[in-house]
Amino acid sequence: MMMRTSLRLAGGFLVLLAVAFGLLAFQLNTLLQPVDVPAMAEEQILVSIPQGSSSTRIANILEEEGLVRNATVFRFYAKFQGMDQGLQAGNYLLSYGMDMDEILAELSAGNVYRPTVSVTIPEGLTLEQIAQRLEDRGLADADEFMDLAGEAKPAMGQTHPEMRYAMEGYLFPDTYEFDEGVSAETILSRMQTRMEEVFTAEMRERAQELGLSLHEVMTLASLVEREVQAPQERETVAAVMHNRMAIGMPLQIDATVLYALGEHREQVLYVDLEVESPYNTYYVSGLPPGPIAAPGRGAIMAVLYPEDVDYLYYVLKRDGTGEHYFARTYAEHQQNIRRSRNNRQ
């Protein structure tokens, strides 16, 4: 009789134990589940983990932010996974609904959130203008950037002893996303690397076919970039430059005169043409020492694939379109100049 009672008690105890274990397992499984997304909550939440934080402190922070259901369960789970000692400090963008494995992966990898700043560098800016734009966006001190650029050398192309800045024309105009606090060295390297990416192997081969060095291509492209206002005329203007160089005719590019003067204005005066500078293509034969601005891909491609025309001259129409009249002879050019004056707005 006593044995039967003992067996019944033991059986009842085992049932209670099984029930308790089941409830515990259910509760533990519930605590391991991702947190439900609170109503009206932001998609992501910025969580700061201070330096030197223990796994207990990290678990408490995550619970306080509502990202895990229970700090103790998270801490023991991290220990069970062997990750409790590898969690890194920093600011993290985490989301409600992430499970513990996903949170642990972020914290152990140190995928910290770094605010970024976007900056657009338009085609045709000089190095000085690029430096100023970076300063305006709070990314770099203009003078510091110019000092750094003055010491650097382009990875592609070459330098010329009479160049104002060796890096002029070798930083690709594009929209960039930089981390806040990025160094000027990183910005310079990124923009130069982007230019190397854009200038493909096929483009290098084409330059060789034309008998042009990369430096000559970049210099010509910068002239096209500064001269052309209507994109559809890039290849035609590039052809004029090629044609003039082929017969030893001065390029006579107004943009080079402005670069020589160090000024940025709309009109070149006759007196400006007298400036003594290796960049003044009214008196210097052939190309200036180097680029005068940052050319975009369109200008580079125009130099590599100019239009098949025999024009030697062009003059701005002055009708607000930014387009030019093109001519084969000087007499035609004089007629176009008169037409341009009559079209003045």
- Encode pLDDT of 217-239 as tens digits: 999 999 999 999 999 999 999 99
What average pLDDT score do residues 4-30 get? 50
- Rounded to whole angstroms, the Cα distance separating 175 from 313 reads 34
Residue 185 has pLDDT above 80, yes or no: yes
What average pLDDT score do residues 187-201 get? 94
Beta bridge partners, 178, equal 117
pLDDT of residue 312: 96
Residue 193 has pLDDT above 50, yes or no: yes
pLDDT of residue 26: 45
Residue 3 has pLDDT above 70, yes or no: no
Range name among 57-61, 148-152, 212-216, 229-233 with the lowest pLDDT average: 148-152
- Condensed to tens digits (0 to 9), the pLDDT of residues 94-107 reads 988 888 899 999 99
pLDDT of residue 84: 87
Q: Between 42 and 194, where is the model more confident?
A: 194
pLDDT cut 70: percent of the chain above it: 86
Average pLDDT score, the chain: 86
Phi-psi region of 256 (alpha: psi -120 to 50; beta: other; left: phi over 0): alpha
Instruction: Report the predicted TM-score, pTM, of the whole model to 2 decimal places.
Output: 0.74
Q: Between 34 and 47, where is the model more confident?
A: 47
What average pLDDT score do residues 177-187 get? 91
What average pLDDT score do residues 73-82 get? 90
What average pLDDT score do residues 230-259 get? 94
What average pLDDT score do residues 11-20 get? 49
Domain assignments of the chain as residue spans, ordered by start: 44-113, 115-309, 312-345
**Domain 44-113 is of which CATH architecture?**
2-Layer Sandwich (3.30)
Q: Between 4 and 313, where is the model more confident?
A: 313
Residue 16 has pLDDT above 60, yes or no: no
